[in-house]
Amino acid sequence: MRVSPSACAVALCALALSSAFAATQLIAQSPLHYPIARKSDQSDTYFGTTVADPYRWLENTDSPETKQWIEAENALTFQYLASIPERATIKDQLTRIWNYPKYTVPTKRGKDYFFTENSGLQNQAVLYVQHGLKGVRKMVLDPNTLSADGTVALGVWDATENGKYLAYAVATAGSDWEEIRVRDVEKGADLSDTLKWVKFSNIAWTKDHKGFFYSRFEEPKSENALLAKNTGQKLYYHYVGEPQAKDRLIYERPDHPQWGITATVSDDGEYVIIYVSDGTNPNNRVFFIDVSNPGKPKINNPLVTLVDDEESQNRVIDNAGDVFFLQTTQDAPLGRVVAVDINKPAKKYWRTLIPELGNEMENVELIGGHFVVHTLQDAHSVLEIYGLRGNRVGRVSLPGIGTITAVSGKPNEWEMFYSYASYLEPASIYRYDIEKRTESPVLVATPPVDSTAYETKQLFAIGKDGTKLPIFVTAKKGLTLDGSHPTILYAYGGFDINMTPAFSPAMLQWVTMGGVYAVAVIRGGGEYGRAWHEAGMLAKKQNVFDDFIASAEYLISQKYTSSKKLAIRGGSNGGLLIGAVETQRPDLAAVALPAVGVMDMLRYQKFTIGGAWAPEYGTSDDSAQFKTLYAYSPLHNIKPGTSYPATLITTADHDDRVVPGHSFKFAATLQRAQAGPAPILIRIDTKAGHGGGKPTSKQIDLATDELAFTVKNLGMSQTPTP
């Protein structure tokens, strides 16, 4: 992608590109001269502890002083990156690898199939509809036409059961804020409907095709909507053709402003299922409303409680009349399937259909009168078929160590689609016949690089406290273990999010250059169920960092790499991980790549949706939690006079999830503290956000710069052509 920094930075980048040799000489001969960031006397007192925050002013992304600092930092960063001889070749190779078709699993509405496809290098995937399996596809929506630079992205979408209307969300410049619009599919034209201030919402049509449920916040009162706190999400029902002001309020909880509220509609159209969660806590409450009515849905019928506590994760798979099939972790930390009679919804009446299976139950769907059960075995997918009585009737054979990324189908139809990917195989779509137990490829994605020379292995490290830690390692077959291989180690470790095998063009580019790509499965995720997640949150968050360090040390001990040849990378909560590991163990790796990280653990809750992360992290408003956060907060554990690894911090000006002030303050502090010769740089993208909806061009440019920075600072001498 082409980065678009401010006018000043563009001029300096152009200068660097035209005189790369001179820039290389300058960097090689002397330390970088970082932009001077003013230090203020700002400080805060937490329970008797005074904490300095000299770069608080960098939180204000709109101030002239911050903008000037951004321009200067970007100018330095892009000058440095432009001086790397391999950068152009890396971009050319990466662009070639990226150029393959990418698909999503079809969603069936009536006899129509809706799916998205990116032909290869399109900035945004295009939404199509196809009548029948062998019908001719028709374009429904091309997001690439919504902006000249591809920075308007298609978000969540859903079509009516008759395929007449499409409700879809769009986001601009990477923001989490979305706007929902309604399109007449046959005419290919939008109606007048425009719904604003939508964020973290589903779209769920009622079966009469007259309207849909969605979630929204109030319009931010702050002038800067990208920084304003997001609280008080509400569930609404919108009738097609009416203005947003007339939308019906369905459910709100003003007594719990951090609670999130979303909804789905059962396949038979009889019920709207309402999910309520305390921020990012995966445990949730479940309510429902009987909306069945031959005429107008009774959206204002009484709310019925199914689960009203935070003891478990719960999801309604579907229903058979008054019986709900529920996937739950209640009395089953790895998950089970139960039948719930809604006339007697108390837990003592729940009837187990599929008990805990020994592996984490990732997802369950009701398709063709059977339960399709997706579990994780050591963080890779297993897909099995069960009868409605809980009897196992079959297993879908998968190609290898990979991930089922999505499953779709109807409760009363035999046809199922699933998407499968691995580290060396992009996501391809398969059709599976539940009755005949046969499958066939439908949409196959093949990258323009032969990956058969490479392989993925699963290793197991032992953590500081004896915990078994899986590591996926992808590299060239027959790798000689002599400690010489440049290695990127990636992890996340939080929010019950699983790190399972996934294809990445940048990863494939890296291994074709002779690198090793490793992914550590560490606590804080959900790969081994509730206990695994809870062992890496709140007061136990240090386990996450220790697990990552143990994984790195294992790779070094097994001679895959060495500290001088190791780069560590993570994004968002994973950016926090890299920041914490870098400040705790600056000797562990030669390169650190923290992306859009949560770096100030004392103030994260004061911006946008940050307050919703309190169940995961705790907050500095609590005395005990403050001590935990202060002990590992990356910003507050930078020590002046320390030799830190070469660091490329990445963020974006429109990141309204992890606001860029986190990365700004971390960069300014780390630059001032750095005692060694390694560069500390920050790359600040423009018209981009946390990562969702990022145009292909921007993804390629970011991956290029991270790889080029890594190549230079790991001392890689060549970049073979794949």
Residues 6+ apart with CB under 8 A from 84: 708, 709, 711, 712
* Residue 572 bears catalytic tag: yes
Residues 6+ apart with CB under 8 A from 480: none
The structure tokens 């008080």 sit at 232
Maximum CA extent, the chain: 78
The C-alpha atoms of residue 340 and residue 295 are separated, in whole angstroms, by 28
Residues 6+ apart with CB under 8 A from 64: none
What is the number of H-type helices and E-type strands within the chain?
Answer: 12, 39
As a whole number of Å, the CA-based R_g of the chain is 25
**58 and 650 in contact (C-beta within 8 Å)?**
no
Catalytic entry in 374, 533, 654, 690: 690
Q: Give the Cβ contact number of residue 430 at 10 Å.
A: 20
Run of H or E including 169: strand 165-172
Instruction: Report the SS3 class of residue 195.
Output: strand
The structure tokens 């809706």 sit at 114
**Smallest Cα–Cα separation from 494: which of 431, 536, 548?**
536
CB contact burial 77-100 (16+ within 10 A = b; e otherwise): bbbbbbbbebbebbbebbbbbbeb
The C-alpha atoms of residue 578 and residue 279 are separated, in whole angstroms, by 24
Catalytic entry in 572, 620, 633, 663: 572
Identify the burial level of 466 via C-beta atoms within 10 angstroms of its C-beta, where 0-12 means exposed, 13-18 middle and 19 or more buried: exposed
Q: How far apart are the first and last CA of the chain?
A: 21
Q: What angle do CA 391, 109, 155 make, to 5 degrees?
A: 100
* Residue 533 bears catalytic tag: no
Q: Give the Cβ contact number of residue 436 at 10 Å.
A: 8
Helix axes 696-713, 64-82, angle to 10 degrees: 60
The C-alpha atoms of residue 367 and residue 66 are separated, in whole angstroms, by 53
Structure tokens at 692: 């969702």
Structure tokens at 498: 């699983």
Structure tokens at 11: 């001029």
- HEC string of 289-307 equals EECCCCCCCCCCCCCEEEE
Instruction: Report the SS3 class of residue 69.
Output: helix
Residues 6+ apart with CB under 8 A from 339: 323, 324, 325, 326, 350, 351, 353
- HEC string of 544-608 equals HHHHHHHHHHHHHHCCCCCHHHEEEEEECHHHHHHHHHHHHCCCCCCEEEEECCCCCCCCHHHCC
The C-alpha atoms of residue 650 and residue 642 are separated, in whole angstroms, by 21
Active site residues: 572, 690
